[in-house]
A and B are shown apart, each in its own frame.
Chain A
Amino acid sequence: MSHRIETIALDSPAPGTSRELLVHRFGRGDGPKAYIQAAIHAGETPALLVAHHLLAQLEEAEIPGEVVLVPFANPVGLAQRVQGHHLGRYNLDSGVNFNRGMADLSDAVDAAVGEGLGSDARINVAIIREAMAEALAGLRLAREGSLLKTALLGMACDADIVLDLHCAQRALLHLFLDESLWPQAADLHADLASAVTLIESDTGSGLAFDHACTVVWRTLQQRHPVKAIPDACLAATVELRGFGDVDETTAATDAAGIMRFLRRRGVIAGDPGPLPEPVGQAHPLEAVGFVEAPATGVVTYRVALGDLVRHGDVVAEIVDPAAHHADAARTQVTSPTDGLVYELADRRFLWRGETVCHIAGQEPVAGQRANLLGD
């Protein structure tokens, strides 16, 4: 089976330093293209191990379509160590989140080809993808993080499937999907055994990688309602549990789930078997309670990952070491919704306003921060 290995040189930030991406390309290119990248948030180690298991499984597979695998998507972030700690989420120099501020190519693509689109969806898809690549090439970006993002988006923007592998703090496996992709991506939800699939209606919050891949299709659909413009890119952010969930069995299982999905979509040859029974449900992102610490202190949990809670249930207590008397030290943290506890804070000493846990329900939770994905 065809397996090509490439390195892509990125820009150097300073004399004596070079950066490069490693890229695996599999397949004959006679079918759908999947693009998979690991750990654009460079500290999200479970994604690195899952990518390794994917590599092993792809090497054994027959691939009529195409698979592009970037096993570590962020060499800039991987090199960011401060006082012995790895800081992989934000660019130390610019302060920008490595998974925000992706290029929105909608305007450039629309200007180039919007009027020329017709009624044949296949032709439109080809035209739009070509225009996306040209728009990317035309961007003038100077800072190191921007060029990395552009290189990654350049490999992803013509893919039918984009899986951006991340992890959360302490969490169940969960997915983020644009609302335009639901329920078309229900098979991904089932094949990956997602415990919670979060459906986003607002892609305006800083443009994460999966949004950058879908926003062009959405925008063109809105601007040209009579043209045949499909949702041609199934882009998902896959949260492979928590930072500490790095073990071979889990990673091999997750990689097998991705392989099963790619078979179901015809990227890889072979029988995927029947669609597994879904583990979790889809939830609107607005129905997630991002529960904030009401006080500074040590957080002790009353719930575990996977617990179902009711509105008003105590999910945690914050213990204030500065309290003068023990009976005044505890502040209860309650759930703002009925739902499933799917993420807990990794650090156990929290400042007031930091997130204690995430609870996925079905009804919108009132009074939350405007930018639900955070920065």
Chain B
Amino acid sequence: MVHVTERIDLPTASLGTGRHLLVHRFGTPGARPKAYLHAGLHAAELPGIVVLDHLLDRLAEADAAGQVTGEIVVVPFANPIGLAQQVLMEAQGRYDLDTNRNYNRGFPDLIEGVLERVDGRLGDDPVANVATVRTAMADTLADRCDAREPEVLKAVLLGLSLDADIVLDLHSAWEALLHVLVSDSNWPDAEDLTRQMGAEVVLIDRGNRMMTFKSAHVLVWKAVARAWPDQPVPPGAMAAVVELRGQRDVDDHLTRPAADALFHFLQRRDVIAGHPGPLPPALCPARSNRALWRLFGETFGILVYHRDLGDRVTQGETFCHIVDPETRRRTPVVAPIDGLLYARRSHRFTRQGQYFCAIAGDELHEGAS
């Protein structure tokens, strides 16, 4: 099967503006396993876009050699609306400027429709059950009539991915270590992904009811399994968010190895033929996302860090100060927990109550959120 590109025109409300997605398809339609990868859903999170640019080279080569045994769908820029949003030279890719909605929240919630459609149609065969649920997901999605541009985009992306066995949503933080977010129903299934990618932090969640893209691929399966505990309904998709460091970490020396790692992962999952090589060791234990501490400004001011990204901090340590240039007071920021300083906002001014960095705690901490 030859590499095919397809252009999906998105309906636009505005006159004289067109939007489209580009979709690359490799392998044979309908072949299993099917992998779906996209990048830039938060449109300013550029590393994934470059990673997929590298990966496309390798996939085209493998496809030409007949090595794509499953099916692969790649959407290299998943959010053309956000990619065109710049305000006074600053990219605004996380929220839709018009509707204020986060591009990675509010994906179509298919749960209720799927539960109605599969009622009485599940049996003892897990493979048949997965197919039944996927059909119900597609039918439920087809019944929706989304009108606003960002909502149509979300429906189209979900439509491209909802029958995939593997769904990878490539993001990045402002500044961060490479980390991976996986839901508990996909753990430890996704351990090979996290090890292959060299994740320095792995966070396990229970799915987000705000319906992130990943959760749209997770919560349906959890709901069906919960509703019919006597029928075998495994998760139909292994869905993960791969946070490819910080927004500026786009250079080839970082993004090409990440693309290679994705290629090896797809080989290990039998989407692509060939030997992926030995699985690298885990760089970290998986943590519950409840072990993650997000810090919020106690006051406003300029953040002056004494620890770098990737440094360990110990509970009680002042690892940062907030400098108020008016009072000249330096407010200490104390680590609430032993852990790893793994993500920061890149703008160094914080307002009171604003998120500015995250520490991955070593233990599940009572009261952490």
Contacts and interface: CB of A to CB of B under 8 A. Distances in A.
Given A82-B97, A92-B88, A17 B77 contact: no
B9 to A, nearest CB: 9
B98 A18 contact: no
A95 interface: yes
Interface string B1-36: 000000000001011111111100000000000000
A93 B86 contact: yes
Interface of A: 10, 13-22, 72, 74-76, 78-79, 81-84, 92-95
Contacts of B201: none
A21 B98 CA distance: 22
A15 B50 CA distance: 13
Given A81-B98, A83-B97, A83-B98, A22 B88 contact: no
A317 B19 CA distance: 48
A94 B22 CA distance: 27
Contacts of B89: 93-94
Contact of B98 (A76, A78, A84): A84
Nearest to A85: B98
Interface string B119-155: 0000000000000000000000000000000000000
Given A14-B80, A14-B84, A19 B15 contact: no
A81 B97 CA distance: 7
Nearest to A72: B15
B16 A15 contact: no
A43 to B, nearest CB: 12
Interface string B73-103: 0000101110110111100000001111000
A14 B83 contact: yes
Given A22-B16, A95-B88, 15 more contacts: A14-B84, A15-B83, A16-B79, A16-B80, A16-B83, A17-B81, A75-B14, A75-B17, A78-B14, A78-B17, A79-B14, A79-B16, A83-B100, A92-B87, A93-B89
A290 to B, nearest CB: 26
A21 B16 contact: yes
A74 B77 CA distance: 26
A82 B86 CA distance: 11
Nearest to B76: A15
A95 B89 CA distance: 9
A78 B16 contact: yes
Contact of A17 (B19, B97, B98): B19
Contacts of A22: 15-16
Name B's interface SS: loop
Nearest to A84: B98
A19 B20 CA distance: 12
Contacts of A75: 14-17
Interface of B: 12, 14-22, 77, 79-81, 83-84, 86-89, 97-100
A142 to B, nearest CB: 13
Contact of B17 (A18, A84, A93): A18
A16 to B, nearest CB: 2
Contacts of A95: 88
A15 B17 contact: no
Nearest to A18: B18
Could you say which of B12, B15, B81, B98 has the most chain A C-beta atoms within 10 Å of its C-beta? B15
Contact of B15 (A17, A18, A78): A78
A212 to B, nearest CB: 21
A78 to B, nearest CB: 5
Could you say which of B15, B16, B84, B100 has the most chain A C-beta atoms within 10 Å of its C-beta? B16
Contacts of B99: 84
Q: Which 5 A-B pairs have the closest CB atoms?
A: A16-B80, A75-B16, A81-B98, A18-B18, A79-B14
Contacts of A72: 15-16
B86 A19 contact: no
Contact of B80 (A15, A76, A83): A15
B17 A17 contact: yes
B82 to A, nearest CB: 9
22 contacts: A10-B16, A14-B83, A14-B84, A15-B80, A16-B21, A16-B80, A17-B80, A17-B83, A19-B16, A22-B16, A75-B14, A75-B17, A78-B14, A78-B17, A79-B12, A79-B16, A79-B17, A81-B98, A84-B98, A92-B87, A93-B87, A93-B89
A224 to B, nearest CB: 40
